[in-house]
Amino acid sequence: MFPPTPQASEPSGEHQELVLEFRHHAERQRLDLFLCSQLPGRSRAFIQKLIEEKNVSIEGEQGPRGLKASFLVPPGAVVRVTIPPPRKLDLEPRDIPIEILYQDPDVVVVNKPPGLVVHPSPNQDENTLVHALLFHLKDLSGIGGEERPGIVHRLDRDTSGVLLVAKTDRAHHQLSTQFKSRTIQKTYWAIVRGEPLAAEGRLDLPIGRSYYHRKKMMVRADRGSREAVTDYRVLESFDGYALVEVQPKTGRTHQIRVHMAKIRLPVACDSLYGKEKRILHSEITRGPREALEEPVIARQALHARSIEFVHPVGGERLRFEAPLPADMARLLDDLRAHRARIPR
């Protein structure tokens, strides 16, 4: 690896763009995978974005439209990478209502509502859970960095439910260790489309980035995948739907949604891995659609029901549960009233 080469232009302040060069010595390899190996700590999505924005070049290989992530880097090629300065995000506290389920000097457990992003990103720097936490709490761990204070794990924007946050660096380190060792137990409730053939099961299917869609993950078994294990059991069955309890044993992106879709039980109203963006009451009842009918639910029917962990300081094992949000409760009520398989 060549040493970092500073930008030729004059310094513009504390944060400058960084220019790096790497020589490829092995056999031909995808550009994004090569840079992943040279830039540990940077996600593949981050590297692909650098490539898309023409921040990566190879002498003699730069076409008018720039390089692609799938370009095969030849042996001996020197890859030049320009990393732009980090975007300064506004992290002023904001009065966003959140439900705090538990709080002590070390940890806080919140019930994240659907539609709220957990932490800021270059494409989302307003009205996140982090902004709300900064308003409602005085202290948060700094290990997550300026943009992710206190954040130990995440939930997707449209997934609701229980979320664990660290208030001190010591708590953050201890909780992160528990997540890595898989001793924290997370339980989700999902309303899925379809009727399960088995009352319970285990899905041991590796997951990686989709070959075809940059925002999706998929089950794949090559070097670009990682181990993913999910246990599930059916709580209630309906005509065309089911309420399923799910326990992910690993923490891959979109893991539950990908695994359930793979066995043809996609999470209801999951527009990325299913077929629908909303569910109407008339669809459940199979009746006529009303004028200006509002959807029963308009996001994936996935809820982080509970979390169980060892307190990072006190050592006692704790468990917290978040009630179903209104939209999933309405959908479940409709299914029980109009799609029940067994009389209640």
Catalytic residues: 156
Pairing of β 302-310 and β 160-166 = parallel
| Contact in structure between 89 and 148 (CB atoms under 8 Å) | no
- DSSP assignment letter at 121: B
- Interatomic CA distance for residues 304 and 188, integer angstroms: 4
DSSP per residue over 68-110, as a string? -TT-EEPTT-EEEEEEPPPPPP---------EEEEE-SSEEEE
Residues in CB range of 123: below 8 A, 6 or more apart:
none
- Interatomic CA distance for residues 297 and 202, integer angstroms: 28
| Contact in structure between 155 and 134 (CB atoms under 8 Å) | no
First-to-last alpha carbon distance for the chain, in angstroms, is: 67
The helix (H) or strand (E) run that includes residue 145 is none
Amino acid at 229: V
φ/ψ (deg, to 5) at 98: -135, 150
